Structure 1
Amino acid sequence: MIELDGVTCRYGRGAGEGGDDGDADSDGDADDGATGTVAVDDASLSVPDGEFLVVAGANGSGKTTLVRTFNGLVDPDAGTVSVNGTPVDGDLVAARSAVGMVFQDPRDQLVAATVGADVAFGPENLGLSHDEIDRRVDEALAAVNMSGRERERIDSLSGGERERVAIAGALAMEPDHLVLDEPFTGLDEPARRSVVDRLRALHAEGTSVVVVTHDLRDVAALADRIVGLADGRIAVDAPPREAVSALPGLDVRVPEGGEFGKPTG
């Protein structure tokens, strides 16, 4: 369970420490002159184990900043964040083991020259045994259909393959929650379908999935719940069929016809 209570994040003069992700401080909100631009404003949210949550909003709405508080990549200026009952700021290692993060651009988190070395990077930093690291790498690559490709160079991969390696690297930490920030940006249709299929399978196996996006067409049918952000505030928090009417007003693209979210009742 991820729990946020009254989380506020600011940037600019007097702001607390936080990440600059291109989403947090490009929304054009007014700077109050003392506490900086508000990127996330008094957000309270719970993400239960096993849920498929979509965090939706326009560019600059604060959605990336919000999810980066889940494992301490952004430190809130106010409010609290806890994972599995433990405050994130009290145990960053536990939070980052429980909440795996896949950035919008995989190049921002791919750190090694080869596929296998990159996926092994996180488990190695946990001080695990070689056998345990090998097991995690094998299982993570199998989960994204990249078994046997450990020795391939990262710079030889397509955009979709790099996305899958980034997902595998997060999975190798064996997180309770997998958070993906705009995972379909720049992918062609086959790559998008591959990532969607992987997310569907991972969720079916019990992993909680959080997808950050401004375009719901790829994930609408998978969602249990949608949280919509506008100007850093949570404007929508509802099952997909209830959320859909408000989302276009938040500059979020929704599917035209077809299935929107899972059936209720």
Structure 2
Amino acid sequence: MEVREVTCRYGGSGDEGGVTAVDDVSLSVPDGQFLIVAGANGSGKTTLVRTFNGLVDPDAGRVAVNGTPVETDLVAARTAVGMVFQDPRDQFVAATVGADVAFGPENLGLSHAEIDRRVEAALDAVNMAGRETDRIASLSGGERERVAIAGALAMEPDHLVLDEPFTGLDEPARRSVVERLRALRREGTGVVVVTHDLRDVFGVADRVVGLADGRVAIDAPPAEAAAALPGLDVRVPEGDPAEPRPSDG
């Protein structure tokens, strides 16, 4: 993913008035990287990542995925960049687990056999195999988060973007989601976690991009970013966050 001089505004018209949520941001996200996009509420992090697959259209600048500008092929962008919203309920479109996970592949016009394969693989990846007929309304918060991840994985994206994925989850559910993200990273899927609380994923990440007032304030490996992060009003691990991260093996 390539982001070049992207600016996003809300309200106003053209270059006049309104609120600037993202201000002249440029960054490159290589395939397979585990990236944290950190910042306080209102720092622009959600708006920024939603430009990655065209959910937000920048007022200025350019976003490209696999070399193709997002606006020229939204289907390709949304296939390559899977998005999991802060509240999974905002993206569920079906009553049951299997039907919801199948929704994206169905819209790609895939064969029934291929759709079934993707649904089975995606649910297996999040430890929800065999739960296709479960009603989403009956699931716990952690299970809903995992189904939302499965729905994105069924599109077989190059990058998976998760917006505050740990909000409202208890400790076992948080650990389960982190382990799924570790596994995805090992398998070559790029992972982007948007958060103001880095404690769950700091030890897994390759890189931290910190935003303040819509601009990039930090772009560094976790050990180098650690000292500056508290100044962005985010939560970091206690102790020495610069210690080597746990093995993914």
Q: What TM-score do you get using the length of structure 2 for normalisation?
A: 0.96
Paired residue type of 2:220: A
Aligned to 1:126: 108
Structure 2 unaligned blocks of 5 or more: none
| Closer/same/farther in 2, CA of residues 107 and 245 from structure 1, 3 Å limit | same
Aligned to 2:2: 3
Identify which of 38, 51, 58 aligns with 2:33.
51
Matched ranges for 1:103-252 at <5 A? 103-252=85-234
Aligned pair count reads 245
Q: Is 1:84 matched with 2:84? A: no
Identify which of 63, 71, 74 aligns with 2:45.
63
Task: Work out whether residues 223 and 241 of structure 2, in 8 Å CA contact, stay in contact via their aligned partners in 1.
Answer: no
Percentage identity across paired residues of the two chains:
81
Deviation, 1:36, is 1.4
4+ runs deviating over 6 angstroms: none
Q: Is 1:98 matched with 2:73? A: no
Deviation, 1:35, is 3.5
Task: Work out whether residues 223 and 262 of structure 1, in 8 Å CA contact, stay in contact via their aligned partners in 2.
Answer: no
Task: Work out whether residues 220 and 261 of structure 1, in 8 Å CA contact, stay in contact via their aligned partners in 2.
Answer: no
RMSD: 1.1
Deviation, 1:260, is 4.1
Task: Work out whether residues 223 and 240 of structure 1, in 8 Å CA contact, stay in contact via their aligned partners in 2.
Answer: yes
Determine the C-alpha separation between the residues in 1 that align with 2:49 and 2:129: 29
SS at match of 1:14: coil
Paired residue type of 2:72: G
SS at match of 2:203: helix
Matched ranges for 1:23-42 at <5 A? 34-42=16-24
Task: Work out whether residues 220 and 260 of structure 1, in 8 Å CA contact, stay in contact via their aligned partners in 2.
Answer: no
Deviation, 1:13, is 1.4
Determine the C-alpha separation between the residues in 1 that align with 2:107 and 2:244: 38
Deviations 1:22-70 (A, max 9, x none): xxxxxxxxxx9x2311000000010000000000000000000000000
